[in-house]
Structures are given as C-alpha cells and as structure tokens.
C-alpha cells in the first residue's frame, strides 16, 4: 500500500519528495509579508514525524545553521518517516537580531498561543496548529542568551525508559539536565500532548560556534537513527555516555564591577572554589565569585561587566562527577577545531 502524501499548511508533499513551504505569519509596517519557511522531507516508507526547529529566539543563530546542515546531509536521502525542518521560527526577532518579538515578548513563553491574543500568542498558535501538532517527536535548538555561552547540553523532562530518555541518550551531548518544564514553552506544550521533545542548548547568541554546531547536527542525526528513520550505521567512535545532572545553580556577582574569570566553560569546580573576581574600575573593592557546589561549569557570562546579583556561572551537580568530567573531556577531544576553541 502506497504511503499517503504529507499535508502541511494547505500543501501536499508526495512520498519521496521534499518541498519548501512559506507559512504566512504577518506583515511588516511596509506591508511586506513575513513567512515561517518550512522544509518537509517526506520519506517513501512509514516512520516518525520529527520536527527540528531553530530560532524560536531570534538571535540564536547556531540553531539556524544546524538545521541548514541537517537539510544538506546525505543521510536524509533515504529517510523513513517525515522530517519537518524550520530554521527560523521567530522571523521578527531574526530580522532585528534580537531574542524577542517586537512587543518584547518571549515567543518561548507564549505556547500554546491564542489566535486572537498578543503577537506572540498569535505566532505560537499558528506554529502549533500548522506545524507542531503534526510531529511525533521534536528537537528544539537553542543557544545561551546574549553575552552568555552554554556547554553543549540536552534539557528534557526524563522518566526511566521513556522515549524522551532514549532520544536524550542517543543525542550524544556530554551533559543531560533533567529540567523542569517552563509554562508557555514549546517543550511544556509538547510534553502536555505526549510528544517527546529535547531542547539542545549550546554556544552563544549572535555567534557561529562550530564546537556547538557540528555536534548539534550529529546529535540530531543520531536521534533519527535511534528512531529508525535513517539507514546505515554512524562510522564514528562510540561516545562516552552522557551524564545526567541532578541539579544546577548559578553563582552570582557579589558586587557591581568588572569580572575577571578564573575558570573555563566545562571546568570541574569544587564547592567554595573561586570562579572569578569582580572589582570596581579602580580596584578599590574586590569580591570573589564562589561556587556553591561541587560540579561542572555548563554556562557562563562572556561579558566582563557585571551588576550585583547577576548570574555569572551555571554549575551543574552530578552524583558521579568523575564520570561527568570524563564525558566532557571525551566530547572536547572529538571536536575540530581543538577544545581550546571553546573558550
């Protein structure tokens, strides 16, 4: 029995075909139309429908490049099931090089949306109705915020033996955070619908970080292989299994001033260890930024200017910290360019 065509936003994609579809979103002040552009790859054989999306925050451009490379991968030519690829969801933010929508709302706090609500609510409702609700699995791609960088990591709500856990293990990021769901996020909405979803966090906003992009592409392909969407085996050495963090916390600036970092992203730190020093421009007052726990630095500020109370270092805690350190070292050694490029 022949597989049925895939329907999206009024378009029909035949088995074995791929198509780009412009989903109308809104118009600029100039009356210029804006679209969320989607590429659908509809395999000849039955299988899952996976949504891979980037740019829900418009300044997170690493995610856009991951989707572009995924669509150029030879591996998806023999796809089973269907790939829905969306490089840029928040087209308004992408044009303005900002995280937010024109009304300063965060699109990733607007789901499930409301077609009669705010701009964010309307875009979220459109994206949900036309695209998200068709997916059986989702990978949502993100970076750190402006002037913040993240070690490659998966964030997901995990339960033993779940499909989400299988996807997270397959991805190959060195760290997995069993993260609580945030009201209004795409991940929260998808989980409420029973759709397994991963959030991949890596790198910094408004930057191309190759050490975040290349592992992101490989991770998506690994998940698709785990879901039996791709044929053939990956010809790369086996990765050290990712370590599951049992919690995390931020070390914050004790005073206003200029930060002098003392540690690097991905470093193992001990409770009480000095992570950085904040001083006023004259050096009259200096205070140390102290780690509140043993762990691994999985995120940090890249801007030396700090206000009192500002989050500077994100430290994840692990039951087996030595294994976590090994997983991160293994990840570093697999990168090209070498690990020093992380910093």
pLDDT on residue 323: 74
Q: How far is CA 278 from the centre of its chain?
A: 30
* H or E element in which residue 171 lies: helix 163-171
Q: What pLDDT digit, counting tens, does each position of 12-54 carry?
A: 999 999 999 999 998 888 989 999 999 999 999 999 999 999 9
Mapped onto helix, strand or coil, the DSSP state of residue 123 is helix
The DSSP result for 73-120, as a single string, is -GGGGG-EEEEEEES-S-HHHHHHTSSS-TTS--GGGSTT--TTS-HH
Relative to beta strand 17-27, strand 311-317 is unpaired
pLDDT at 339 over 50: no
Domains and CATH numbers, the chain: 6-227 (3.40.630.10), 247-331 (2.40.50.100)
Residues 6 or more apart whose CB falls under 8 angstroms from that of 247 comprise 316, 317
**CA 147/CA 292 separation, integer angstroms:** 22
Q: What pLDDT digit, counting tens, does each position of 183-223 carry?
A: 999 999 999 999 999 999 999 999 999 999 999 999 999 99
Helix, strand and coil in the chain, % to nearest 5 = 25, 35, 40
Mean pLDDT computed over 58-83: 97
Residues 6 or more apart whose CB falls under 8 angstroms from that of 296 comprise 151, 175, 245, 266, 267, 268, 269, 315, 316, 318, 321, 324, 325, 328
Relative to beta strand 137-142, strand 45-53 is parallel
CA distances to 26, 32, 132 from 311, rounded to whole Å, are 35, 39, 32
Best CA proximity match to 259, nearest among 332, 298, 310? 310
- Angle at which helices 210-226 and 163-171 cross, to 10°: 140
Q: pTM for this structure? A: 0.93
Which two three-digit tokens encode residue 198? 């991963």
- Mean pLDDT for all residues in the chain: 92
Residue pair 58/90 in contact by the 8 Å Cβ criterion: yes
Best CA proximity match to 201, nearest among 300, 310, 76? 300
């Amino acid at each position: 029995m022949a597989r049925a065509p895939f329907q999206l936003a009024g378009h029909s994609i035949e088995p074995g075909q791929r198509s780009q579809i412009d989903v109308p979103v809104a118009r600029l002040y100039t009356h210029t139309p804006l679209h969320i552009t989607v590429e659908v790859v509809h395999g000849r054989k039955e299988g899952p429908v996976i949504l891979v999306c980037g740019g829900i925050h418009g300044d997170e451009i690493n995610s856009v490049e991951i989707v572009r490379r995924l669509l150029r991968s030879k591996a998806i030519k023999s796809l089973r099931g269907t790939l829905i690829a969306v490089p840029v969801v928040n087209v308004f933010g992408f044009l303005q090089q900002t995280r937010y929508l024109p009304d300063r709302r965060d699109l990733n706090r607007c789901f499930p949306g409301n077609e009669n609500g705010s701009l964010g609510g309307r875009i979220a409702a459109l994206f949900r109705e036309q695209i998200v609700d068709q997916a059986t699995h989702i990978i949502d791609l993100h970076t750190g915020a402006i002037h913040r960088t993240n070690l490659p990591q998966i964030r997901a709500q995990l339960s033993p033996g779940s499909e989400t856990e299988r996807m997270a293990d397959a991805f190959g990021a060195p760290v997995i955070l069993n993260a609580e769901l945030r009201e209004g996020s795409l991940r929260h909405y998808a989980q409420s619908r029973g759709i397994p979803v991963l959030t991949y966090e890596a790198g910094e906003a408004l930057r191309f970080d190759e050490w975040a992009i290349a592992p992101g592409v490989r991770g998506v392909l690994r998940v698709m292989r785990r879901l039996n969407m791709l044929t053939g085996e990956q010809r790369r050495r086996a990765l050290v299994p990712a370590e599951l963090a049992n919690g995390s916390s931020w070390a914050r600036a004790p005073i206003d001033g200029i930060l002098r970092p003392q540690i690097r992203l991905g470093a193992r730190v001990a409770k009480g260890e000095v992570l950085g020093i904040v001083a006023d421009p004259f050096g009259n007052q200096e205070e140390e930024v102290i780690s509140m726990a043993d762990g691994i630095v999985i995120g940090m500020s890249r801007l030396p200017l700090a206000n009192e109370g500002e989050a500077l270092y994100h430290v994840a805690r692990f039951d087996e910290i030595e294994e976590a350190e090994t997983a991160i070292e293994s990840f570093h050694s697999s990168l090209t360019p070498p690990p020093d490029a992380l910093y």
